[in-house]
Amino acid sequence: MNKRKGKDAHLPLGECITQAQQILRERFCQQRLPNRLEGVEAQHKHLVELLKRTAIHGESNSVLIVGPRGAGKTALLRCVLRELLEEKDAQKNLLQVHLNGLLQTDDRIALKEITRQLQLENVVGDKVFGSFAENLAFLLESLKKGDRSSSRPVLFVLDEFDLFAHHKNQTLLYNLLDVSQSAQAPIAVVGITCRLDVLELLEKRVKSRFSHRQIHLLSSLTFAQYLERVRVQLSLPEDFPDLKFAEEWNAGIKTLCEDKSVEEVLQRHFNSSKDFRSLHLLLTLCLSRISIAKPAIRPADLLDTSRLCFADAKANMLHGLSILELCLIIAMKHLNDVYEGEPFNLQMVHNEFKKFLQRKSNSMYNFEQPVVMKAFEHLQQLELIRPVDSSSAKIQREYQLMRLTLDHSQIMEALQKYPQCPTDVKQWAMSAFA
């Protein structure tokens, strides 16, 4: 009876919306692992077998997981580790060390992090080592079991693997791969990278110690599957407290995904990136628009949030410029058109601006040279223009060569949205001649 009551419970609309937002935000932001990854069954099986041989049988291995950003490289590894740690032997023995090329920027920092993650700070103490290899060998030796019969297997995960190739002499990679090949201790080295040419970055001695095993992840997702994933991601679970609200919500989401304008928006996202993190950002923005007054996601919400996601940050910056700064940008655009993208300097831009003033005979835009220079410097601070090279800093400011970092379409689009833009300035921008 109580169970039936719980299922048939009708919560206030505000509470239903709050709970729905909480459930969906957790789903989008916490990136919970699915029960199984779709479309990568062969790669999953290959990686499981490889790491089992290290964790259970003490065999050393090395492998690279290669694929574009958002393809699911880290998710694949996490799913494999979850499955692996369900094995009793692996759970007791396997140690993990996770390094990231963005954080461990040199071998000294990496070694300190390895020591911390293996909890061997007390063992190392104040010992002085002659080389990186000696230090690493000592750490691995310290992991021998109580009976000293064998070492505990260690899994080294190197995220952003290509960045480790930029370390001096690639000492970390060399020593890890050397240990994995020489059977001094059972270790598995798993590199994660989005660079297909990563092996070309390795020195010969490092490359010769690598197993050359590579697991490639390339998204084979079709748009129909992507659309279904959107529907599933936005749907509420069966155990939602208010069954009636959940049914209405899920029916609304199904209708939303069948809407032609929504399909067009999602097709654009699918074509630009199949990364589910960017999709989750879009859906989170949609979710934030839900309220008691508007208790469902509408196609218009998806269209608006899509515009936000695809908004051009540089073009948006133009909306906050003064009329003088906007005029200088238009003068630069004309110089780019006339001289086919060749660099320009302040003097050339000012001359172009003066031509416009002479044609219009408008004293409203008549600015002194120091004011124009100040506006030009502000555009440089905003990085809308940049110097051609750093050596030009010695040249007088008026004659330093610059390039415009905006293209024609960005300028024209920004002009249409510029608040109360004077008609003559718009006409000048649209004219084919300076």
- Output the pLDDT for position 182: 77
The answer as to whether 419 is a domain residue is yes
Same domain, 299 and 333: no
CB 400 within 8 Å of CB 345? yes
Buried b (16+ CB within 10 A) or exposed e, 287-313: beebeeeebebbbebbeebbeeeeeee
Give the domain range for residue 71: 41-216
pLDDT of residue 98: 94
Same structural domain, 337 and 402? yes
Total domains in the chain come to 3
Q: Is the CB of residue 417 less than 8 Å from the CB of residue 316?
A: no
Domain end call among 216, 239, 264: 216
Q: CATH code at 188?
A: 3.40.50.300
E strand intervals along 207-282:
214-216
Q: Indicate whether 302 and 327 sit together in one domain.
A: no
Classify residue 35: in a domain, yes or no: no
Q: Are residues 180 and 72 in the same domain?
A: yes
Domain boundary among 309, 327, 362: 309
Residue 133 has a pLDDT of 80
Per-residue model confidence (pLDDT) at position 361 = 61
How far is the C-alpha of 176 from the C-alpha of 136, rounded, in Å?
8
Q: For residue 64, is it within any domain?
A: yes
In a domain, 199, yes or no: yes
Residues paired with residue 156 on neighbouring β-strands, in sequence order: 97, 189
Q: Residues 182, 114: one domain? A: yes
pLDDT in 10s for each residue of the chain, 434 residues:
344 444 456 778 888 888 888 888 888 876 667 777 777 888 999 999 999 888 888 888 999 999 888 788 988 999 999 888 887 766 677 889 999 999 999 888 998 898 899 888 777 776 767 778 888 888 887 776 544 456 788 899 999 999 999 988 898 998 888 888 876 788 899 999 999 899 999 999 999 989 899 999 887 778 888 888 889 888 888 888 888 888 998 999 999 888 898 898 888 888 877 777 788 888 888 888 888 888 888 888 888 888 877 766 777 788 888 888 888 988 898 888 888 878 888 888 888 888 888 876 655 677 888 898 999 999 888 888 888 876 555 677 778 888 888 888 788 878 887 878 888 888 888 886 44
Instruction: Write phi, then psi, for 147 (nearest 5 degrees).
Output: -85, 5
- Are 87 and 232 found together in one domain? no
Q: Are residues 50 and 161 in the same domain?
A: yes
Last residue within a domain, chosen from 216, 249, 275: 216
Question: What pLDDT is recorded for position 418?
Answer: 82
Residues 327 and 394 both lie in one domain:
yes
Cβ within 8 Å of residue 382, ≥6 positions away:
317
Label the pairing between strands 402-404 and 154-159: unpaired
CATH code where residue 362 lies: 1.10.10.10
29: in domain: no
pLDDT value, residue 102: 93
Q: Which two tokens stand for residue 272?
A: 């630009």
**Domain match, 110 and 142 both:** yes
Same domain, yes or no: 363 and 391:
yes
Residue 346 and residue 296 share a domain: no
Nearest CA-CA partner of 411 in 321, 351, 340, 305: 321
Q: Does 349 share its domain with 285?
A: no
132 lies in a domain?
yes
Is residue 325 within 8 Å of residue 375, measured between CB atoms? yes
pLDDT of residue 277: 79
At what angle are helices 243-258 and 260-272 packed, to 10 degrees? Answer: 70
In a domain, residue 18? The reply is no
285 assigned to some structural domain: yes
What type of residue sits at position 37?
Answer: L
